[in-house]
Amino acid sequence: MSRLPLEHIRILDLTQAWAGAYALQLLGDFGAEVIKVESRTRPDPWRGSFAPRALAFYPTVGPGDHPYNRSYLANSVNRNKYGITLDLSSPEGKAMFLDLAKTADVVTENFTPRVLGNLGIGYDVLQQVRPGIILLSMPAFGLSGSYSDFPGIGGTVEPMSGNSWLLGEPGGSAQVSGVMYPDAVAGLNGAAAVLSALRRRDVTGEGSHVEISQLESMTAMLGEFFDDAGLASLGRVGNRDRSLVPNGIFRCAGEEEWVAISVRDDTDWDALVRRLGNATLAAPEFRDAGARRRAENQIEEAITAWTTERTATEAEAELLEAGVPAARVRSMADVIACPQMNATGYLQVLEQPDSLPPAPVPGVIARLTETPGNIRLPAACHGEHSREVLSRILGLDDGTLDDLDARGIIGAGPPPD
């Protein structure tokens, strides 16, 4: 079997929720050994809490006896990790963390900036115990500046970032994404930051403290809008594009039936006009993106008149036959059944925690042809690997582990009374 690209890298992960967990899952997919360190008393908020909560992230079959192992949120971003618990507020917990850090290449966290130092495990301490170590910090607003101590989550970062301002129907209200998308974007950037720092260490031997501002990583996605004389008057952009006209999603016959259509050039435009059979749009002046831009509302109305007379599946097939970029708007169930996702083996069936049935999940984000990443472990349950990891890496014996467990310094599930 080929080596994994990051097989030689060990990461101690203190992040919670989506952004950090996703960053570490991406690195775990490339082969890094990721040890997710959770609190003994308060599980990762994406697990919920020890008792079932009135929030909607449990499976339809119910939260069961271990609801904190049944959240689809947590279980979607914590594969390929060892899950351990450590009470970092206890001297013993902190000492074990630093002993683990002595063997680690990377530590990751997404607390607000002062927390790590207050726990006594800031970058200065980590550097002392492990020269060359890399620390990734992922606070909402970055480590410096006037908002740095403020809490932030995807739902507040998105309105701050400019994304919500642009997201919405033209003329309509600002919106937030259907998922806390800025978290995922921060996760991508977190993985990128760690890999960049690892490359630097390979070349110079030096460690780095790298940081993500979730706010800035989201705004970085919007760069194209800043190259616009009309920046100050930008509103909701819908699905329109700065270059392609038309570019939109159109209602079809039936409930929640929609088709996406893009016209990349005049060839696509000619093919679309022929398919629509619309004499007005066939006028030669529309073979120019500028002219189409000025008539965009009229063009979108003409397309809608055509799409609403057929289902999305029919519209997609007719347009593709004509060579026009088109796609029925797919639900997640459709994605799971997608011929492309399945023919290429991208979706893989993964065991789920706490006796839930196996489920299809996306594969590794980039396909390295010689040393591909892979999925080795299902999402870790709370504290599932505490004993295995502390025994393997720190050499703790059963008696010591039993004692730590009994005193609530390590362990799984609700702490002892």
Partner 1 sequence: MSMSLLNGLRVIEVSCTPRAGFCGKMLVDAGAEVIKLSLPGDEGPGAFSNWLDRGKESVVLDWRTDEGARLLSRLLGSVDVLVSDIECEGPARELAAAAATVPALVHVSTSDLGHSGPFAERPSSDLIVAALSGMCYINGEAGRLPLREPGNQARIVAGIAAYLGVLAAVINRGQSGKGQAVEVSALEALVNVLNPSVLQSSYQDGQPRRQPSAQGFLVDCADGRVSIITSAQRSWDTILDLWGITPSEEDAPKFAEGERRKHHAEIRTFFGPVLASRDRQDVFEEMCAVRVPAGMLMSPADLLTDRHLLAREAFDALTGAEGPARTFPGPGFRVAGERPGADRGVPAFGADTASLLASLATEEVRA
Report, in Å, the least distance between residue 253 CB and partner 1.
14
Which listed range, 36-44, 196-204, 282-290, 406-414, lies at the site for partner 1 (CB under 8 A)? Answer: 196-204
Nearer to partner 1 among residue 305 and residue 365 (C-beta): 365
x/- site string to partner 1, residues 345 to 374, per CB under 8 A?
-x---------xx-xxxxxxxxxxxxx-x-
Report, in Å, the least distance between residue 371 CB and partner 1.
5
Report, in Å, the least distance between residue 267 CB and partner 1.
10
Using CB under 8 A as the binding rule, whether residue 293 contacts partner 1 is answered as: no
x/- site string to partner 1, residues 56 to 75, per CB under 8 A?
xxxxx-----------xx-x
Which listed range, 92-100, 135-143, 282-290, 405-413, lies at the site for partner 1 (CB under 8 A)? Answer: 135-143
Give the strand order in the sheet containing 258-262.
247-251, 258-262, 326-328
Alpha carbon separation from 220 to 26, 111, 136, 182, 224 (Å, rounded)? 20, 22, 19, 11, 9
Query: Does residue 414 have a cis bond before it (omega within 30 degrees)?
Result: no
Contact criterion met (CB below 8 Å) for 183 and 131: no
Contact criterion met (CB below 8 Å) for 259 and 312: yes
Q: Give the torsion sign (CA, 219, 222, 227, 230).
A: negative
Among 125, 129, 153, 394, binds partner 1 (CB under 8 A): 153
Per-residue tokens: 88:
């970092």
Interacting residues with partner 1 between 158 and 177 (CB under 8 A): 158-169, 173-177
Using CB under 8 A as the binding rule, whether residue 277 contacts partner 1 is answered as: no
x/- site string to partner 1, residues 104 to 133, per CB under 8 A?
-------------------x----------
Alpha carbon separation from 57 to 46, 74, 292, 351, 361 (Å, rounded)? 9, 9, 44, 18, 17
Q: Give the torsion sign (CA, 316, 319, 323, 326).
A: negative
Using CB under 8 A as the binding rule, whether residue 152 contacts partner 1 is answered as: yes
Nearer to partner 1 among residue 244 and residue 394 (C-beta): 244
- Could you give the CA distance from residue 191 to residue 378 in angstroms, rounded to a whole number? 20
Which listed range, 33-41, 227-235, 282-290, 397-405, lies at the site for partner 1 (CB under 8 A)? Answer: 227-235
Interacting residues with partner 1 between 253 and 272 (CB under 8 A): 255-256, 258-260, 262, 264, 268
Task: State the first-to-last Cα distance of the chain, in angstroms, to the nearest integer.
Answer: 47
Q: Comparing C-alpha atoms, which of 62, 58, 33 is closest to residue 385?
A: 33
Nearer to partner 1 among residue 60 and residue 399 (C-beta): 60
Among 208, 380, 383, 409, binds partner 1 (CB under 8 A): 208
Under DSSP, the state recorded for 337 is: T
Report, in Å, the least distance between residue 392 CB and partner 1.
22
Nearer to partner 1 among residue 92 and residue 241 (C-beta): 241
Using CB under 8 A as the binding rule, whether residue 305 contacts partner 1 is answered as: no
The beta strand positions in 1-117, using DSSP E, are 10-13, 33-38, 81-85, 106-109
